[in-house]
């Protein structure tokens, strides 16, 4: 057996050589960052609803996530930890006892757990192997008004467009492997969740989203109402992208008519989507997470705060970003200092912010042409 410490808990699980779905009981130390961030997000949600909350950790593994939620989040009424594996549940029981917390342990196929407990949870955390897609419909059925849906996806190669067909199969959307494919991927995931929940007259408010290491994660507040759901679906649409001159344009609406060729260079446009085109970060929510971080003991706090500050800045920026190297390659020039590009954009009155997706990324409302003119000017000098 192995024992590890994370946050305020100690967790035991059978030793294994390599983190994989073949481990007898799943534990991934790399996901501590995800769990630390989740604690802040769930606490911010609890503060927002201002009542005791009931949490469902749908894919429990060693139980670490649910046990940490019970131990480290204030005003938690109960936590249900579900896993299809009897051995995982045995360790959840051992670990709950070891940490002196009471949790409810369930051993159901995830969809059955959600279908059998409609409206029971304030928070549903879906942290499976690979894609959350097969579970989102049951979550849509289960979730009540003002609840929180947390989604992790580790099938990033499909969401980012390395493999197109699996993304179409799982998310009914076409990805595109551009410089901003990680952001596109999260937007596809969120768009898929919004469309799936819409069947149940439920719509989403996106609270916070990030792409880190090998996964994507998003926190969605769920609301109810058919009219508001119809309205919120207007936030879904497509991005048309020109890989030749880097032109890109958003088309909101599912029946958008999108031109076939780039209006600037006549290259054939690539169309990705449907995806969520409104902001995927909420400033107030992220501020609350940052404030809460001061009162929590988290090993990854500095890293989490860095991410939160970046996401907060991204909240009001456009849905895609440019990669300075890609811009310079298109212009056939060497790259200027990134800070100079930011300064120049701001000087000219454009939005210019960094992004957590890429150290070379520039989020700006300048068009490809405007940005390229600025970059050229800086290099000439």
Q: Is residue 88 part of the contact set for ligand SAM (CB under 6 A)?
A: yes
Closer to ligand SAM by Cβ: residue 35 or 223? 35
Q: List the one residue from 127, 155, 183, 314 that touches ligand SAM (CB under 6 A).
A: 127
- CA 84/CA 12 separation, integer angstroms: 19
Measured from the CB atom, the residue of 57 and 323 that comes closer to ligand SAM is 57
Q: Is 24 in the site for ligand SAM (CB under 6 A)?
A: no
- The Cβ of residue 109 has, within 10 Å, a number of other Cβ atoms equal to 12
C-alpha–C-alpha distance, residues 256 and 291, integer Å: 41
Give yes or no for residue 132 binding ligand SAM (CB under 6 A).
no
Give bridge partners of residue 55 from the DSSP assignment.
79, 123
Q: Which of 85, 299, 300, 310 binds ligand SAM (CB under 6 A)?
A: 85
Residue 109 interacts with ligand SAM (CB under 6 A)? yes
Q: At closest approach, how far in Å is the CB of 334 from ligand SAM?
A: 43
Asked if residue 26 binds ligand SAM (CB under 6 A), the reply is: yes
Number of residues forming the site for ligand SAM (CB under 6 A): 18
Among 64, 105, 195, 308, binds ligand SAM (CB under 6 A): 64
User: Are the C-beta atoms of residues 2 and 26 closer than 8 Å to each other?
Assistant: no
Classify 214 as helix, strand or coil.
Answer: coil
Residue of the chain from 33, 45, 59, 203 that contacts ligand SAM (CB under 6 A)? 59
From CA 339, how far away is CA 225, in angstroms rounded?
A: 45
What does residue 291 show for φ and ψ, rounded to 5 degrees? -65, -45
Is residue 345 within 8 Å of 377, Cβ to Cβ? Answer: no
* C-beta of 63 vs 336, nearer to ligand SAM: 63
Binding map of ligand SAM across residues 185-214, x = CB under 6 A, - = no contact: ------------------------------
Q: Does 330 bind ligand SAM (CB under 6 A)?
A: no
Q: How far is the CB of 64 from ligand SAM (least distance, A)?
A: 5
**Bridge pairing between strands 352-355 and 358-364:** antiparallel
Nearest one of 37, 28, 24, 216 to 131, comparing CA atoms: 216
Q: How far apart are CA 208 and CA 315, in angstroms?
A: 9
Report, in Å, the least distance between residue 145 CB and ligand SAM.
Answer: 25
CA 324/CA 118 separation, integer angstroms? 48
Per rule CB under 6 A, is residue 155 in the interface with ligand SAM?
A: no
Q: Are 281 and 357 in contact (CB under 8 A)?
A: no
Question: Do the beta carbons of residue 126 and residue 154 sit within 8 Å?
Answer: no
362: β partners: 322
Q: Residue 143 interacts with ligand SAM (CB under 6 A)?
A: no
How are the residues of the chain apportioned to helix, strand and coil, as percentages rounded to the nearest 5? 40, 25, 35
List 41, 117, 128, 185, residue binding ligand SAM (CB under 6 A): 128
Q: How far is the CB of 109 from ligand SAM (least distance, A)?
A: 5
- Asked if residue 300 binds ligand SAM (CB under 6 A), the reply is no
Nearer to ligand SAM, 94 or 338 (CB): 94
Residues in contact with ligand SAM by CB under 6 A are 26-27, 31, 35, 59, 61-62, 64-65, 83-85, 88, 109-110, 127-129
């Amino acid at each position: 057996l192995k024992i590890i410490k994370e946050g305020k808990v100690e967790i035991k699980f059978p030793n294994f050589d390599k983190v994989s779905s073949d481990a007898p009981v799943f534990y991934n130390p790399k996901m501590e960052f995800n769990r630390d961030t989740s604690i802040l997000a769930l606490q911010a949600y609890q503060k927002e609803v201002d009542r005791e909350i009931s949490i469902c950790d749908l894919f429990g593994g060693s139980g670490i996530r649910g046990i940490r939620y019970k131990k480290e989040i204030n005003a938690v009424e109960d936590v249900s930890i579900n896993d299809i594996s009897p051995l995982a549940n045995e360790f959840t029981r051992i670990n709950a006892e070891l940490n002196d917390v009471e949790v409810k342990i369930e051993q159901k196929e995830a969809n059955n757990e959600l279908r059998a407990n409609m409206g029971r949870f304030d928070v549903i955390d879906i942290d499976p192997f690979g894609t959350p897609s097969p579970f989102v419909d049951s979550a849509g059925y289960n979730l009540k008004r003002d609840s929180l849906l947390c989604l992790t996806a580790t099938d990033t190669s499909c969401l980012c467009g390395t493999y197109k067909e699996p993304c179409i199969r799982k998310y009914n959307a076409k990805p595109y492997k551009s410089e901003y494919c990680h952001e596109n991927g999260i937007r596809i995931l969120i768009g898929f969740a919004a469309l799936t929940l819409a069947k149940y007259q439920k719509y989403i408010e996106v609270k916070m989203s990030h792409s880190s290491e090998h996964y994507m994660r998003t926190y969605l507040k769920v609301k109810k109402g058919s009219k508001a759901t119809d309205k919120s679906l207007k936030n879904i649409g497509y991005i048309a992208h020109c890989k030749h001159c880097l032109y890109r344009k958003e088309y909101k609406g599912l029946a958008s008519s999108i031109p076939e060729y780039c209006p600037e260079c006549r290259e054939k446009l690539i169309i990705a989507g449907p995806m969520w085109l409104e902001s995927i970060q909420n400033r107030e929510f992220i501020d609350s997470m940052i404030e809460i971080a001061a009162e929590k003991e988290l090993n990854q706090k500095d890293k989490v705060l860095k991410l939160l500050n970046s996401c907060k800045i991204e909240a009001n920026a456009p849905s895609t970003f440019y990669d300075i190297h890609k811009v310079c390659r298109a212009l056939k020039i060497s790259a200027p200092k990134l800070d100079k590009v930011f300064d120049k954009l701001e000087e000219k009155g454009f939005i210019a912010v960094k992004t957590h997706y890429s150290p070379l990324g520039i989020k700006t409302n300048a068009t490809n042409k405007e940005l390229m003119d600025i970059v050229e000017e800086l290099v000439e000098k």
